[in-house]
Structure 1
Amino acid sequence: MEILRTPEERFESIPDFPWEPEYREWEGMRLAHIDEGEGEPVLLVHGEPTWGYLWRKVMGPLLDAGYRCIVPDLPGFGRSDKPVDDDWYTYDRHTAALVSLIEELDLDGLTLVCHDWGGPIGLRAASIEVPERFTRLVAMDTGLFTGYQKMSDNWNHFRDFIASHRDVRVDMPIRGGCATELSDEVVAAYEAPFPDVNYKAGIRTFPPMIPVTPEDPGAEAGQEAAKYLIADDRPSLVLWADSDPALPMDPVGKTVQMLFPKAEPLTVIENAGHFLQEDHGEQIGRIIADWLRKN
């Protein structure tokens, strides 16, 4: 199996991301994660087409409040190695990679903070894989894919675009998914892990990985995770951007809220797009830190 590793110099000019990565070996590849701070652990899981850089603004308030932040780069993203073969990437493998990190670091008392594809992966880990290691759940602009979920027209257009373009542009969904204008330097940070088309299998494979019928691969795991969460009594918090073009608050956010019957009312982040961490990351970090203190 051919595996690529993004040259480190691609990350040398990344703005506002001072933390050094740690590395571990898993299934013949090197995977990266950030592990900063002390205290209760918070696991922040990114999605498509981002990497750990997405969480930098959220991390500040959490670290200041005394929490430990563990921020993995999923296989195929960020500083983690990138299998070239599209067929390598599956929902099961992404979940297994995250579970292996949790077990290798022996993390307990975890708070999950997840976004986009970090939700199906992280929520599966926190429900039907290693639920005993998690005590609190925070979800934002994400959910579980059961095959019954309805996807927006914007998302369907994005999936179709990905299917016909192997050399996926990262800048377009990043800029289009933010309510505020991003600097060229920040956009370049999201592009940094992907020097050319050969590095982009991870990006290409997430959209078609979403089950669109209850019989599709991954749907059964999503259904099992949903059943677990609906009966769960752990403290949970759901945040949603008011202007998410891919996963609109109505109906997607309100539907996802139903997965967390013990959650407080849906917390709306105003003037924010799908990548709400870019639009209002510090605010989100403060909201989570304050909620953690109370729960």
Structure 2
Amino acid sequence: MKVLRTPDERFSDLADFPFEPRYAEVTADGLPPLRMHYLDEGPADAAPVLLLHGEPTWSYLYRHMVPVLTAAGHRCVVPDLVGFGRSDKPADPADYSFARLVAWTRDLLFDQLDLRDITYFGQDWGALVGLRLVAADPNRYARVAIGNGGLPTGEGTPTEAFLNWQRFAATSPKFQIGRIVSGGTVGGLDDATIAAYDAPFPDETYMAGARTLPSLVPTSPDDPAHADNVAAWDVLRRFDKPFLCTFSDGDPITKGGERAFIGRIPGTEGQAHTTIEGGGHFLQEDRGPELAQVLVDFIAAT
């Protein structure tokens, strides 16, 4: 396996990102260890709030949420998925699979950090990976929140917006990641923020994960992840700890996605499900402090 590591100088002087990088070595399928990056902010003895990013972002996405959560006394753990941010990046698209992304992240969170009593929030691929981990060990979790994400099995009909995104990621001659993230927000991003999302990817060779992940989302029952996601749903349909939906009002890809959870997962009953107004797909960019306060209130209420 050829693995690329983004030079550290690419991450110097990023706007609004004063956090200390931390690293652990993770493995999957008996492959050589990879270095995985994460943030760990706030009181070390507090119960962790786990924030998982999606495609094609990294932990920078949560820079406006971490201070709100730590100010409320919470510990924040924010990994970069393998292939993104400061984590190692396998260079061959064939090195990525849904199962490996879950295994790498599980190794970090369960085996290396041994997180327990977790409050978890996931968006986009942060929901796909994170919900598989909730199903793998639900006793580690105190509560769950999902915004603009899901856990498809391939049996439903994907939105045309998502199918267009899959085609674009696979075929576009240029893959300008910072501008892609900007296009997934309501207000757009300034040049410094766009540069921060481009930072992990010095050139196209570093983008195998970012290009490949859209194709790994199940869109038919024949998908390799179908059986594992069905099994995860079997667990989630019995998950009775608090489960909150925080979808935004302006995301064409996941609009209405809360219907997959509310009423199907016992823990959704009686929760103050929230629509984040003025948020696009990357609601953390458009409404990060507001979303963080929703999580603070959710923790306090449950």
**Smaller-chain TM-score bracket:** over 0.9
Deviates more, 1:136-145 or 1:219-228: 219-228
Q: Percent same amino acid among aligned pairs?
A: 40
Q: Which of residues 237, 240, 248 in structure 2 aligns to 1:233?
A: 240
User: Residue 37 of structure 1 corresponds to which residue in structure 2?
Assistant: 42
In the superposition, the TM-score normalised over structure 1's length comes to 0.95
Q: 1:243: Cα distance to partner?
A: 0.7
Partner deviation per Cα, 1:63-98 (whole Å, 9 max, x = no partner): 011111000000000000111010111111110111
Q: 1:255: Cα distance to partner?
A: 2.8
Q: Is the 8 A contact 1:166 1:204 kept in 2?
A: no
User: Residue 202 of structure 1 corresponds to which residue in structure 2?
Assistant: 209
Deviates more, 1:48-57 or 1:225-234: 225-234
User: Residue 56 of structure 1 corresponds to which residue in structure 2?
Assistant: 63
User: Residue 119 of structure 2 corresponds to which residue in structure 1?
Assistant: 111
Q: Distance in 1 between matches of 2:157 and 2:132?
A: 19
Q: Is the 8 A contact 1:167 1:200 kept in 2?
A: no
**2:89 maps to amino acid:** K
Higher strand share: 1
Partner deviation per Cα, 1:243-266 (whole Å, 9 max, x = no partner): 1022113xx232343443322253
In the superposition, the TM-score normalised over structure 2's length comes to 0.93
Q: Distance in 2 between matches of 1:254 and 1:242?
A: 14
Deviates more, 1:261-270 or 1:88-97: 261-270
Q: How do 1:110-189 and structure 2 match up within 5 A?
A: 110-127=118-135, 129-165=136-172, 167-189=174-196
Partner deviation per Cα, 1:102-129 (whole Å, 9 max, x = no partner): 22111111111101011111111111x2
Question: For 1:285, what is the secondary structure of its paired residue?
Answer: helix
Q: Does 1:212 find its partner at 2:219?
A: yes
C-alpha spacing 1:271/1:54, structure 2 compared with 1 (3 Å) = same
List structure 1 runs of 4+ shifted beyond 6 angstroms: none
Q: 1:212: Cα distance to partner?
A: 1.2
Deviates more, 1:60-69 or 1:23-32: 23-32
Q: Is the 8 A contact 2:22 2:40 kept in 1?
A: yes
Question: For 1:69, what is the secondary structure of its paired residue?
Answer: strand
Q: Does 1:254 find its partner at 2:259?
A: yes
Q: Is the 8 A contact 2:69 2:76 kept in 1?
A: yes
C-alpha spacing 1:258/1:198, structure 2 compared with 1 (3 Å) = farther
Q: 1:192: Cα distance to partner?
A: 0.5
Question: For 1:24, what is the secondary structure of its paired residue?
Answer: strand
Q: How many residues get paired?
A: 292
User: Residue 5 of structure 1 corresponds to which residue in structure 2?
Assistant: 5
Q: Is the 8 A contact 2:106 2:133 kept in 1?
A: yes
Q: 1:167: Cα distance to partner?
A: 4.5
Q: 1:290: Cα distance to partner?
A: 1.1
Partner deviation per Cα, 1:15-60 (whole Å, 9 max, x = no partner): 1111011111123221110111121111111110000011111111
Question: For 1:247, what is the secondary structure of its paired residue?
Answer: coil
Partner deviation per Cα, 1:138-172 (whole Å, 9 max, x = no partner): 11100102112332211111111111136522133
What is the aligned-residue RMSD (CA, Å)? 1.3
Q: Distance in 1 between matches of 2:23 and 2:164?
A: 36
Deviates more, 1:253-262 or 1:156-165: 253-262
Question: For 1:33, what is the secondary structure of its paired residue?
Answer: strand
Question: For 2:247, what is the secondary structure of its paired residue?
Answer: strand
Question: For 1:142, what is the secondary structure of its paired residue?
Answer: coil
